[in-house]
Amino acid sequence: MDKNKKISYAMLVYILLGSVSVILFLLGVFVFKGLLSSVLIDLSTEFLGAVIIFIFINRLLLAREYDASFLLEQAIKRLDKATHFLKSPEQNPPFDELISNARKIYLLGNSFVRLLRTYEANLIKRIDAGAEVRIIFLDPRGEACKLLAASSGRDVRQAIMGSINIAFDLRQHSLDSKRGKVEIRLIDWTPSCGMYLIDPDAANGYIRVTVYPPDVRSPLSNRVHFILSRDADKRWYEQYYSQYRSLWDQATPIHSREEL
């Protein structure tokens, strides 16, 4: 118990003791004078006053305790947000939880074949709810894709094509159901990072950045991440959101598989 709370409770005890003492004193005086009815009246008045004082001080203490708990909880939340830097994939919120109520889902990456395969059904639910989905892929026809494949030793084109095929399935679902919106664009240079942007215009918007390692042959599990929120990281949040918008404007729209 903190010092202020101890003092407050001590004052409460003294007030109650003082009230009882006054009641006993008046009881003695009025009994001695034969004024029992006056004793009862004053006794009731003193007791009621003591109860009122007790309730008031107790409520005051509870209010102080609530305020302190609330402020502490808010500070912990802000600290937790501020330390969401370079989190491992296991520490980040699952993608299906991130998009569970999302109205805008923006993605940037070389390919999202694993993500789209795993969460295709979740994305369809959001599209049916009217969500807007934007995805920027590395162009599987471009020179950047060939260089990345040669450097990493992976069949990058096949992974990207698998991702784009799922994205087109999502787009077709949107067109058929006349719900939501799915847009696909391509870039012919390897971005330095991948990004998830969930409702980026909202006050509680979320941006997760995946930093690609210098050695592109590194396993996917070696990639590091950081999370940005508008309230805790306003400058960097706006900076990365601005960069996504810029990339989107520079990227090439693609409307059908036949274009590949």
Last residue of a domain, one of 33, 53, 82: 82
pLDDT class for 200, splitting at 50, 70, 90? Answer: very high
Predicted pLDDT of residue 47: 59
161 and 50 within one domain: no
- Cα–Cα distance measured from residue 128 to residue 122, given in angstroms and rounded to the nearest whole number: 10
207 and 137 within one domain: yes
- Cα–Cα distance measured from residue 162 to residue 112, given in angstroms and rounded to the nearest whole number: 9
Is 162's pLDDT higher than 60? yes
Mean pLDDT of the residues in the chain: 79
- The count of other CB atoms within 10 Å of the CB of residue 219 is 7
Q: What 3-state DSSP class applies to 46?
A: helix
pLDDT class for 213, splitting at 50, 70, 90? Answer: confident
For the chain, what is the domain count? 2
192 and 64 within one domain: no
Contact 133, 126 (CB under 8 A): yes
- Cα–Cα distance measured from residue 25 to residue 27, given in angstroms and rounded to the nearest whole number: 5
- Cite the DSSP H helix spans in the chain: 3-32, 36-82, 95-98, 113-128, 143-152, 156-177, 234-250
Residues spanned by the domain of 137: 89-259
- The count of other CB atoms within 10 Å of the CB of residue 26 is 18
53 and 169 within one domain: no
Is 68's pLDDT higher than 70? no
Is 27's pLDDT higher than 60? no
- Cα–Cα distance measured from residue 15 to residue 80, given in angstroms and rounded to the nearest whole number: 43
Could you tell me which of 223, 162, 170, 157 has the C-alpha nearest to residue 192? 223
98 and 66 within one domain: no
Last residue of a domain, one of 82, 102, 136: 82
Last residue of a domain, one of 82, 110, 132: 82
233 and 120 within one domain: yes
78 and 95 within one domain: no
For residue 233, what is the domain's CATH number?
3.30.870.10
Predicted pLDDT of residue 74: 64
pTM of the full structure? 0.67
105 and 61 within one domain: no
151 and 100 within one domain: yes
Q: Mean of the pLDDT values across residues 14-42?
A: 58
| pLDDT greater at residue 194 or residue 259 | 194
- Cα–Cα distance measured from residue 113 to residue 90, given in angstroms and rounded to the nearest whole number: 19
Q: How many residues does the chain have?
A: 260
254 and 141 within one domain: yes
All residues at 6 or more sequence positions from 57 whose CB lies less than 8 Å from its CB, including other chains: 8, 11, 12, 15
169 and 122 within one domain: yes
pLDDT class for 93, splitting at 50, 70, 90? Answer: confident
96 and 142 within one domain: yes
All residues at 6 or more sequence positions from 226 whose CB lies less than 8 Å from its CB, including other chains: 84, 85, 86, 87, 208, 209, 211
- Cα–Cα distance measured from residue 8 to residue 83, given in angstroms and rounded to the nearest whole number: 37
